[in-house]
Amino acid sequence: MTRGIAALGAALSLAGAVVLHAVQDRSAPPEVDRPELLYVRSAAVIKRAALGYDGIVADLYWIRALQHFGAERLSKPPHTPTYSLLYPMLDLTTTLDPYFSIAYRFGSIFLGEAYPGGPGRPDLGIELLKKGLAAQPAKWQYMQDLGFIYYWHMRDFASAAKAFQAAAEMPGAPTWLRPLAAVTLAEGGERRASRALWQQLAQSEEPWLQGAATLRLAQLDAMDIMEAWRQFRRERGVTPPLPPDPSGTPFVIDPATGDITVARESKLFPLPGQIQPPR
Amino acid sequence: MQLVFPTSGAAEILGRPVGDVSVRRRIGYLPENPYFYDHLTAEELLDYYGRLFGMAAADRRQRIPATLDRLGIGAERRMALRKFSKGMLQRVGLAQAVLNDPEVIFLDEPMSGLDPLGRRDVRALMLELRDQGRTIFFSSHILSDAESLCSQVAIVAKGQLAAAGRLSDLQHFAVLGWELVMAGVPAEALERIRARARRVQSIAGDRYVIDLPPDGKPEEMLRELTAAGATVVSLNPVRETLEELFVRRVAEVGKGARA
Amino acid sequence: MNAARCVAIAVFRESVRDKVFYNLVLFAVLLVGASILLGQLTAGQDVKIIKDLGLAATSLFGLFIAIFVGINLVSKEVERRSVYPLLAKPIRRAEFIAGKYAGLLLTLLANMVVMSVAIYVVLYFLARNIPMQIQTAWDAPALDPALLKAIFLIYLNLAVVTAVALFFSTYSSPMLSAIFTLGVYVVGQFNADLKHFDRIVDSPAAIAIARACYYVLPDFSKFDVKLAVVHGLPVSGTYLAVTAAYAALYVAALLFGAVLIFSRRDFK
């Protein structure tokens, strides 16, 4: 066999394989393109399999968790976001690296996020934070986040106040936690306490935390405006015009209840408690 | 060298027990079919071994080139050993065996893999070393080498010592016959002497090998044939060769073992 | 010990010529590549991840070198029969073993020094443009000297693995040695599980064996402080000293064992 024939044979065979692959790909897309699967969910197994490389494997799961979250957030119909892998992956991340604070904090914020921005599972956020506290009992940030979930998502003001109080007593805790605990206890569902809390968080260095806090503050402003509008209608007996909400989109009237609400296109949609996540 | 350990018994070398490590400074060893390190050059190999011998840097600087020269390794000394031919490797092996100026040298099949030129060189080297007063042990299955080089031999058969001593003591030194090779022998002279010979064999044309019995008086025959116009090619006594001795002794050991 | 020193240098030189150190090129590409790609993916965790990656790669690459060079240390010389002219020189068999071990340890040391420098350089460039405010909130500084503690313990870990590989190399083929050494390493990671074998299995015999193994086999998780160092948790000098003693004892046991086996080997 001459070298020319061998070279031609090699080139043609490879070209053929590539073409075949492309054709196959078009008709039946490979597994990777389909929504992710998590083959191993048991944290104990992963920890054994990591063979001492826990830190880097935790990082890999963290990256996957972020990508999963982002992909679900940005997904378009007919795909309905379920965020089903978010908690399992954050659980794996934190089992492998129990000191991975950003994973706990991210989880606590976004696990509780109401559908469709998140899975709407504040209870899972609480699980995760308790795990973090088990590894590092004196980490005030976790306790603060815990208090926050009780306050904002569960509306359990007594537990929230207790958490803020516990956080305030931990070493290194910032001074504003103590009055926050007091305000929470005294005023319960008052938006004033919530606003104070979100304003503190809006000064955070983490850009995603900043963004979440700014959004919440805008939502609180929206709720203030809505409250004022309802009061006006009650007192005057007429339906006032619909103002724009803090993000610029006008409010709308919900045809089912006749009540003022934030428009679907608005950046502030949904307000907390507005939509139930799919079970 | 303690490459293998004895099942029993004791031995000494240069006045020290065989396990003594320091005495190896005065010994040289060439293994059979030597193999060294692919990634080193010949120079680097000798430097490595030189350091192991405890040779000082100045010593190494002087002896290493000298040894390589003596073994006929020229510019190849800077080539990696993986590129060396078998014959070259054998030379390197010999070089490292004599590098430390040893008093006793062990050579395992030193001629293996060498062409006739190489064999001649090695033989010359061994004789030179012997003349310098060193003791050389070498093993070989080429008995003619042993015959031409050794002052003493030992025959080992099936792990047992079958014979040892001076060649002249071991071999039947008595003459068993004569071999006379003559050229240009006229036919009628050949017929005349044929009865006195054990065998007459023609080599080519008018060249003949004449086998005489021990009492065949070769000088007379020689005079007769030269008078008839022939010329002498060679005249050799026939004695028992080392090979025949070897075969005989090995057979004896075999019989002894069976008995 | 001149003979041992000669052998050690010879091992180091062989590693260089066998291009062992090319692994550093792959290491550098990995670190630099990751530091470039990570920015978008990790929500500000770049520095932590580079530290994790750097330490994990240092450990993993070092492990490969320790095992794949270690299993050949003795067996290659024996198989190629270069051990014959070597042992004919004034060198004791124990010196041969010691020299081989020291040589590979030297190779690993050089490798790890370069890796440490590479990690710090990458961390420097990564953290260069991040404002001080953010950096003070981190668990540990970018150019954290405590990383060296983790690297030191990784080195001790590799020293033990090398000794294991060398031990097996004195009488096993490279293939078997690799399997055994890797096996010891993996079991050593799960060492803690052996202690609590009674949670998994009921047989008292198995539990007793497991517990014996727990004490006898090296516990490699002791050498792993990567998580602690990356999160700024303290690693005391006492801990380093005790772990170093632990490693030294295992290495001594394995080297004595290797000398024992090698000293009585006949070379045909």
Q: What is the identity of the amino acid at C95? A: E
Q: How far apart (Å, rounded) are the C-alpha atoms in residues A154 and A111?
A: 13
Distance separating alpha carbons of residues C150 and C146, to the nearest angstrom: 7
Give the per-residue pLDDT at B159: 74
Q: Are strands B199-204 and B207-212 parallel, antiparallel or unpaired?
A: antiparallel
Is C43 near chain A, with CB under 8 Å?
yes
Directed axis angle between helix A54-74 and helix A86-96, to 10°? 160
Report the pLDDT value the prediction gives residue A274, as an integer from 0 to 100. Answer: 56
Sorted by sequence, the CB contacts under 8 Å of residue C156 that are 6+ apart come out as: C223, C243, C244, C247
Q: Do C56 and A55 touch (CB under 8 A)?
A: yes
Query: Best residue in C6, C17, C87, C89 to probe B by mutation, most B CBs within 10 Å?
Result: C89
Residue A252 is classified by DSSP as E
Is the CB of residue C154 less than 8 Å from the CB of residue C56? no
pLDDT at C127: 85
Amino acid at residue number B188? E
Whether B36 sits inside 8 A of C82 (CB atoms) is yes
Greater confidence, B122 or A41?
B122
Using a pLDDT cut of 90, give the percent of chain B over it.
26
The per-residue pLDDT for C134 is 80
Q: Which neighbouring-strand residues pair with B179?
A: B211, B236
User: Nearest-CA neighbor of C220 among C168, C158, C163?
Assistant: C158
CA pair distance C107, C114, nearest whole angstrom:
11
Contacting chains of A (3 CB pairs or more, <8 Å) are: C
Residues of B in contact with C92 (CB under 8 A): 21
- Contacts with A, C 108-137, CB within 8 Å: 133-134, 137
- Cα–Cα distances (Å) from B142 to B109, B113, C177, C180, in that order, read 9, 12, 41, 45
State whether B54 and C90 contact (CB < 8 Å).
yes
Between CA B82 and CA B89, with CA B88 as vertex, the angle to 5 degrees is 60
Beta-sheet pairing, B104-108 with B135-139: parallel
CATH 3.30.70.3100 residue ranges for chain B: 177-238
- The pLDDT, as a whole number, for residue A277 is 44
Q: In the prediction, which pLDDT does A276 show?
A: 44
Cross-chain Cβ contact C84/B25 below 8 Å:
no
Task: Answer for the pair B147, B244: CB distance below 8 angstroms, yes or no.
Answer: no
Chains B and A touch (3+ CB pairs under 8 A): no
CB-CB under 8 Å, A59 with C52: yes
Residues of A in contact with C154 (CB under 8 A): none
Q: What is the dihedral of CA A249, A255, A259, A262, to 10 degrees?
A: -20
Predicted confidence (pLDDT) at residue A258 exceeds the cutoff of 60: yes
> Do C244 and C235 form a contact (C-beta atoms < 8 A)?
no
Q: Is the pLDDT of residue A99 over 60?
A: yes
Mean pLDDT value of segment C55-79:
93
CB A222 within 8 A of CB A246: yes
Write down the pTM of the prediction: 0.79
Q: Is the pLDDT of residue B48 over 70?
A: yes
- Which residues does chain B have within 8 Å of residue C266's beta carbon, measured at their own beta carbons? 3-5
Give the pLDDT confidence of B116-164 residue by residue, as tens digits: 888 888 889 999 998 999 999 988 887 778 777 888 888 777 777 777 8
**Which pair of structure tokens corresponds to residue A169?**
């007593």
The DSSP result for chain B, as a single string, is --SS--SS---EETTEETT-SGGGGGEEEE-SS----TTSBHHHHHHHHHHHTT--HHHHHHHHHHHHHHTT--GGGGSBGGG--HHHHHHHHHHHHHTT--SEEEEESTTTT--HHHHHHHHHHHHHHHHTT-EEEEE-S-HHHHHHH-SEEEEEETTEEEEEEEHHHHS--S--EEEEEEES--HHHHHHHHTTSSEEEEEETTEEEEEE-TTS-HHHHHHHHHHTT-EEEEEEEE---HHHHHHHHHHHHHHHHH-
- Helices within chain C (DSSP H only): 2-17, 23-38, 46-70, 75-80, 83-87, 93-127, 132-136, 147-169, 174-189, 191-195, 204-216, 226-230, 237-263
**Contact, C258 vs C166, CB < 8 A?**
yes
Least Cα separation, residue B229 to chain C (angstroms): 60
Confidence of residue A191 (pLDDT cuts 50, 70, 90): low
Where does the pLDDT of residue A29 fall: very low under 50, low under 70, confident under 90, or very high at 90 and above?
Answer: low
Decide which of C128 and C100 is more confident: C100
To the nearest whole number, what is the mean pLDDT of chain C? Answer: 90
End-to-end CA distance of chain A: 66
For residue C6, what pLDDT is reported?
94
Peptide bond between residue A116 and the one before it cis (omega within 30 degrees of 0): yes
Residues of C in contact with B92 (CB under 8 A): none
Spatial distance between the Cα atoms of B101 and B123, rounded to a whole number of angstroms? 18
- Residue C129 exposure: Cα atoms within 13 Å on the Cβ side: 5
Give the A-side interface with C, CB within 8 Å: 48, 51-56, 58-59, 62-63, 66-67, 97-99, 101-102, 106, 205-208
Smallest CA–CA distance from C50 into chain A, residue: A56
Give the residue on C whose Cα is nearest the Cα of A102.
Answer: C45
CB contact under 8 A, C264 and B33: no
The residue type at C4: A
The answer to whether the CB atoms of C6 and B53 lie below 8 A apart is no
- Which residues share a beta bridge with A250? A244
> How crowded is residue C23: how many other Cβ atoms within 10 Å of its Cβ?
17
Q: Do A59 and C193 touch (CB under 8 A)?
A: no
C 77-96 → B contacts, CB under 8 A? 80-82, 84-92
Where residue C89 falls among pLDDT bands split at 50, 70, 90?
Answer: very high
How many angstroms separate the CA atoms of A255 and A272, rounded? 19
What is C130-162 written as a DSSP string?
S-HHHHHTSSS-TT-TTHHHHHHHHHHHHHHHH
Mean pLDDT of chain A: 82
Inter-chain CB proximity A101 and C52 less than 8 Å = no
Residue C59: CB atoms within 10 Å:
25
Task: Give the per-residue SS3 of B30-90.
Answer: ECCCCCCCCCCEHHHHHHHHHHHCCCCHHHHHHHHHHHHHHCCCCHHHHCEHHHCCHHHHH
Mean pLDDT, residues B22-35: 89
Instruction: State the span(s) of chain B assigned CATH 3.40.50.300.
Output: 12-140
Which chain B residues have a beta carbon less than 8 Å from that of C268? Answer: 4
Kindly state whether B48 is in contact with chain C, defined as any CB-CB distance less than 8 angstroms.
yes
Nearest to C90 among B22, B30, B33 (CB): B22
Q: Do chains A and C touch (3 or more CB pairs under 8 A)?
A: yes
Find, in chain B, the residue whose alpha carbon is nearest to that of C14: B39
CA distance from start to end of chain C: 27
Q: In this model, does residue C186 exceed pLDDT 80?
A: yes
Question: Distance between CA atoms of A147 and A197, rounded to whole angstroms?
Answer: 11
Task: Give the distance, in angstroms, between the CA of residue A152 and the centroid of all CA atoms in the same chain.
Answer: 14
- Rounded mean pLDDT of B188-211? 85
Minimum distance, in Å, between the CA of residue C15 and any CA atom of chain B: 10
B57 touches chain C (CB under 8 A): no
Which residues of B are less than 8 Å from C85 in CB distance?
Answer: 29-31, 34, 36, 49, 93, 96
- Rounded to the nearest angstrom, the minimum Cα separation between C65 and chain B is 19
Residue A189 binned pLDDT confidence (cut-offs 50, 70, 90) = low
* Backbone phi and psi for residue B137, each to the nearest 5 degrees, phi listed first: -100, 120
Q: Which of B21, B25, B31 sits opposite C81 (nearest CB)?
A: B31
What is the mean pLDDT of the segment spanning C205-233?
Answer: 86
- What is the predicted pLDDT for the residue at B259? 42
- For A62, nearest residue in chain C (alpha carbons): C42
Query: Do B5 and C17 make contact, defined as CB atoms within 8 angstroms?
Result: no
Residues of A in contact with C224 (CB under 8 A): 52
Round the average pLDDT of chain B to a whole number and report it: 85
- Flag whether pLDDT at A37 surpasses 70: no
Q: Which residue has the tokens 């306490």?
A: A193
Distance from CA of B247 to the nearest CA of C (A): 25
* Residue A30 confidence (pLDDT): 53
Interchain CB distance below 8 Å, A55 and C44: no
User: Which residues, 6+ apart, have CB-to-CB distance to B13 below 8 Å?
Assistant: B23, B27, B104
Q: Which CATH superfamily is domain B12-140 in?
A: P-loop containing nucleotide triphosphate hydrolases (3.40.50.300)
Whether C89 sits inside 8 A of B49 (CB atoms) is yes
Which of C2, C18, C84 has its CB closest to that of B31? C84
- Over residues B68-79, the mean pLDDT reads 90
Find, among B96, B88, B140, B139, the residue nearest to B114 by Cα. Answer: B88
pLDDT over 50 (residue C266)? yes
Joined together, the tokens standing for residue C102 give 């020291």
Tell me which DSSP letter residue A83 carries. Answer: -
Banded model confidence at residue A278, pLDDT cuts 50, 70, 90: very low
CB contact under 8 A, B35 and C80: yes
Q: Look at residue A23 in the predicted model and tell me its pLDDT.
A: 87
- Give pLDDT, residue A183: 66
pLDDT above 70 (res A188) = no
Burial (0-12, 13-18, 19+ Cβ within 10 Å), A175: exposed
**Which one is the CATH code of B177-238: 2.60.40.420, 3.40.50.10310, 3.30.70.3100, 3.40.50.720?**
3.30.70.3100
CA distance B43 to B66: 11
Cα distance between residue C158 and residue A180, in whole Å: 52
Amino acid A190: pLDDT:
59
Nearest-angstrom CA–CA distance, A102 and A271? 25
Give, as one character, the DSSP assignment of residue C43: S
Residue of B nearest to C8 (CA): B48
Q: Which of B7, B37, B52, B96 to mutate to test the interface with C (most CBs of C within 10 A)?
A: B52
pLDDT score at C247: 95
CA distance C40 to chain A (A): 10
Q: Tell me the pairing of strands B27-30 and B104-108.
A: parallel
Q: How far is C14 from chain B (nearest CA, A)?
A: 7
Residues of C in contact with B3 (CB under 8 A): 84, 87-88, 266-267
* Structural contact between residues B233 and B182, judged by C-beta atoms closer than 8 angstroms: yes
**Residue B181: strand pairing partners:** B209, B234
Query: If residue A140 lies in a helix (H) or strand (E), which one and from where to where?
Result: helix A140-152
Maximum C-alpha span of chain A: 98
Phi, psi of A252 (to 5 degrees): -130, 170
Q: Which sequence spans correspond to the domains of chain C? A: 2-263
